[in-house]
């Protein structure tokens, strides 16, 4: 009887371990961390093409855009604000292989900011010295009021300065200027990513920096 109970207990433990391993595997598959080169090599369409589709689906101002792999799909994720007075952000996901709309969802601005903060904490990210030196985070309305060029125009300006594949973009304020900051991979053999900042009021290059690919 004791031996039988021991075997039963052992079997249960094995099943629990297998179940936890399976759940962990699924969790890992939800959001895959791929290198910039891997992302760029797999994408079939460029960010500007995906942005055009996203903005047709949800017209407005692109606050943030990123190429990533989520739930097994390579996607461009766009956070779009319909207008300067809107309290909701529309997240539109475009498949980077086919260019088709994957999903569209609305979220309150405050909720989106909290979500991004939690994601950063989960990744173990801390504010860098560069971030700490930045001005106090402006309100979205302040950013939007400065925009005089379209997202597509900003990308073209950035790619003229640094030809390559656009991995991400963000509308932000830095050193007194409202900019679109673009991370661009020059080519698949490059060991660096170029960050090109475009002033959204003048359309001029605000800054250009390089960062080693980790």
Residue 199 φ then ψ, to 5°: -65, 120
Instruction: Establish if 110 belongs to a structural domain.
Output: yes
Instruction: Establish if 3 belongs to a structural domain.
Output: no
Number of separate domains in the chain: 1
32, pLDDT greater than 80:
no
Instruction: Establish if 7 belongs to a structural domain.
Output: no
> Rounded to a whole number, what is the distance in angstroms from the first to the last CA of the chain?
57
Best CA proximity match to 168, nearest among 82, 79, 88: 79
Task: Of 1-5, 20-24, 111-115, 143-147, give the range with the top mean pLDDT.
Answer: 143-147
Instruction: Establish if 24 belongs to a structural domain.
Output: no
Instruction: Establish if 6 belongs to a structural domain.
Output: no
Out of 54-58, 142-146, 157-161, pick the least confident.
Answer: 142-146
Specify the pLDDT at position 17.
43
113, pLDDT greater than 80:
no
Specify the pLDDT at position 23.
42
Positive or negative, the Cα torsion across 150, 202, 195, 125?
negative
126, pLDDT greater than 90:
no
127, pLDDT greater than 70:
no
Out of 90-94, 110-114, 121-125, pick the least confident.
Answer: 121-125
Specify the pLDDT at position 18.
45
Structural domain harbouring 115: 36-212
Farthest-apart Cα atoms in the chain, separation: 82
Q: How far apart are CA 143 and CA 62, in angstroms?
A: 11
Mean of pLDDT values over 182-203: 96
Q: What is the Cα 26 distance to its own chain's centre?
A: 21
Indicate the average pLDDT of the chain: 82
Find the CATH number of the domain harbouring 59: 3.10.450.40
Instruction: Establish if 202 belongs to a structural domain.
Output: yes
Instruction: Establish if 10 belongs to a structural domain.
Output: no
Query: Is 60 within 8 Å of 83 (Cβ atoms)?
Result: yes
**What angle separates helix 47-57 from helix 151-161, to the nearest 10 degrees?**
170
Long-range contacts, stretch 202-205, CB < 8 angstroms, 24+ apart: 202/148, 203/148, 203/149, 203/153, 203/154, 203/157, 205/157, 205/158, 205/161
Instruction: Establish if 19 belongs to a structural domain.
Output: no
Best CA proximity match to 89, nearest among 108, 66, 76: 108
Share of the chain above pLDDT 90, in %: 64
Residue linked to tokens 């991995």: 167
Q: How far apart are CA 76 and CA 167, in angstroms?
A: 9
């Amino acid at each position: 009887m004791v031996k039988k109970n021991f075997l039963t207990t052992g079997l249960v433990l094995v099943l629990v371990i297998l179940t936890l391993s399976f759940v962990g595997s699924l969790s890992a598959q939800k959001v895959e961390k791929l290198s910039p080169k891997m992302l760029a090599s797999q994408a079939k369409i460029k960010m500007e093409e995906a942005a055009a589709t996203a903005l047709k689906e949800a017209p407005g101002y692109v606050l943030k855009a990123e190429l990533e792999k989520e739930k097994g799909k390579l996607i461009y994720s766009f956070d779009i604000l319909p207008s300067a007075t809107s309290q909701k952000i529309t997240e539109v996901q475009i498949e980077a292989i086919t260019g088709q709309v994957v999903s569209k969802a609305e979220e309150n601005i405050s909720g989106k900011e909290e979500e991004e903060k939690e994601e950063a904490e989960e990744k173990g990210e801390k504010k860098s010295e560069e971030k700490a030196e930045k001005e106090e985070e402006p309100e979205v309305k302040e950013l939007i009021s400065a925009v005089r060029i379209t997202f597509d125009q900003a990308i073209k300006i950035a790619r003229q300065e640094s030809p390559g594949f656009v991995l991400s973009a963000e509308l932000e304020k830095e050193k007194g200027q409202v900019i679109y900051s673009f991370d661009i991979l020059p080519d698949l053999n490059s060991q660096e990513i170029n960050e090109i900042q475009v002033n959204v009021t003048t359309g001029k290059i605000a800054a250009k920096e390089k960062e080693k690919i980790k």
